[in-house]
Amino acid sequence: MATQQETTEARQHSGVGFVQTKLATLFVPPHWLKLAGGGELGPIQVAYETYGELTPAKDNAIFICHALTGDAHAAGYYEDDDEKAKPGWWDDLIGPGRTLDTDKYFVICANVLGGCQGTTGPGSINSETNQPYRLNFPFITVGDIVEVHSALTRHLGIEQLLAVIGGSLGGMQVLEWAARFPKQLRSAICLASAAQLSAQGIAFNAVGRRAIKTDPEYKDGEYEAGAGPRYGLALARMIAHITYLSDQSIEMKFGRRLQDHDTFTYEMLPEVEFQVESYLHYQGKRFVERFDANSYLYLTRAMDYFDLESQYGSLTNALGKTDARFLIASYDSDWLFTTTQSKEILRALIECGKHVSFIELKSPFGHDSFLIEIEQLQNMITPFLEQAYQSQLIESAQKT
């Protein structure tokens, strides 16, 4: 556990310092959100954070789309957190002089629709019944999530974003944004993602959902806040976390090392005899403290259904209407979202005649690399954003 002094020093190192989560209410009836699966939803509360200042021209905004179990807290610290508090999940990337330079850019990150960190989701109160939605929450898609992000952007008075950035499920949102609102972004950065989830990815999601639903405490989704299928949700997280790692990263970190002793116990009861077992149990325990089981079901299903090619007829149809510049990046050790899948996006963009950069990055950390390998992100994103920003300034000058 970190000491108070260590925590204070870490907070001082954080580029943006203390931050606050803001709330916006969108899609107030009768202006409902029309859902891709049918039906309507509203009002929708959106939890979001911003870093930096928006220029008078409102031309320096960057939107970060978080991954499956992420949230709006991408950078900084909360002032009322205790000594165990952690910074935002991309804190090393955001702040003055950093890749997402808050002296230059206005950075936005919002919790997704269907989430459980402040944005309307299954755990939210249904205004019509005054009870939590639970499984009465409507089915949502990645497209619905992006509709809410887009509405938040307009709510903030921003007509066009300098960039939209995301990895994994966040990368799916980036691609959907470029297809659905082609004029609303000048550049797109898609990390460790794909235009559709693989059959293997769908299979792992299915096992995770089954673990949740078969937990007796799931109660068909009718559990109370703070209760619910803790064992099933922890197991789902353990399964998913294995897919985020690579064989190399697991061997590097754990190997076959034992947890508390030097020899095998030769007993069936211990479940954490190996260090890797202890690590997965720890990840599961931590996850149930911050995430809602129903949200996990809804968001993994949204990932399963995402298929840009089927939705728009082809990837070229989907991505051909935007003038945005693209940066597509994959990782050689990522077996959940492979380089082959990234190259499918690349080929479609080339066929459309789009400005696109592609790189396969080397990393031992598997799918989690885009959350860990900050220096690699700095080296490729910093010049890409600078080019997008400078091209925008040139175009603005030409118009005047």
CATH number of the domain residue 289 falls in: 1.10.1740.110
Q: Are strands 77-78 and 18-19 parallel, antiparallel or unpaired?
A: parallel
In a 10 Å sphere around its CB, with 0-12 CB exposed, 13-18 middle and 19+ buried, how is residue 241 labelled?
A: middle
pLDDT for position 225: 87
Are both 54 and 157 inside the same structural domain? Answer: yes
Are both 174 and 211 inside the same structural domain? Answer: no
Are both 298 and 314 inside the same structural domain? Answer: no
Residue 263 is classified by DSSP as: S
Tell me the pLDDT tens digit for each residue of 326-364.
999 999 999 999 999 999 999 999 999 999 999 999 999
Neighbours of 105 (CB within 10 A): 23
Are both 137 and 67 inside the same structural domain? Answer: yes
Distance CA 246, CA 340 (A): 17
Tell me the pLDDT tens digit for each residue of 241-254.
999 999 888 888 77
The binding site for substrate comprises: 237, 368
Residues of the chain falling short of pLDDT 70: 1-14, 81-84, 260-273, 400
Are both 293 and 333 inside the same structural domain? Answer: no
Last residue of a domain, one of 272, 305, 338: 305
Are both 131 and 187 inside the same structural domain? Answer: yes
Are both 222 and 285 inside the same structural domain? Answer: yes
Are both 314 and 248 inside the same structural domain? Answer: no
CA angle 230, 236, 242 (to 5 degrees): 135
> What's the token pair of residue 340?
């082959």
The whole domain housing 357 covers 4-198+309-399
CATH of the domain at 134: 3.40.50.1820
Strand locations in 152-241, DSSP E? 163-167, 187-191
> What's the token pair of residue 7?
């925590």
Are both 258 and 394 inside the same structural domain? Answer: no
Neighbours of 33 (CB within 10 A): 21
pLDDT for position 267: 63
Are both 300 and 326 inside the same structural domain? Answer: no
The DSSP annotation for 330-383 comes to EETT-SSS-HHHHHHHHHHHHHTT--EEEEEEP-SSGGGHHHH-HHHHHHHHHH
Last residue of a domain, one of 305, 329, 345: 305
Q: Which residues are catalytic?
A: 168, 334, 367
Residue 216 is classified by DSSP as: G
Amino acid (1-letter code) at residue 193: S
Last residue of a domain, one of 289, 305, 321: 305
Q: How many CA atoms lie within 13 A of 188 on its CB side?
A: 30
Distance CA 22, CA 7 (A): 24
Calculate the CA 314 to chain-centre distance.
25
Angle between helices 169-180 and 142-155 (to 10 degrees): 70
- Which residue pairs, CB below 8 angstroms and at least 24 apart, start in 337-343? 337/168, 337/171, 337/192, 337/193, 337/194, 337/198, 337/201, 337/367, 338/194, 338/198, 341/193, 341/194, 341/195, 341/196, 341/198, 342/190, 342/192, 342/193, 342/194
Q: Residues 6 or more apart from 154 whose CB is under 8 A from it?
A: none
Are both 300 and 206 inside the same structural domain? Answer: yes
pLDDT for position 7: 47
Distance CA 347, CA 342 (A): 9
Are both 162 and 222 inside the same structural domain? Answer: no
Nearest to 140 by CA among 23, 41, 29, 32: 41
Domain count, the chain: 2
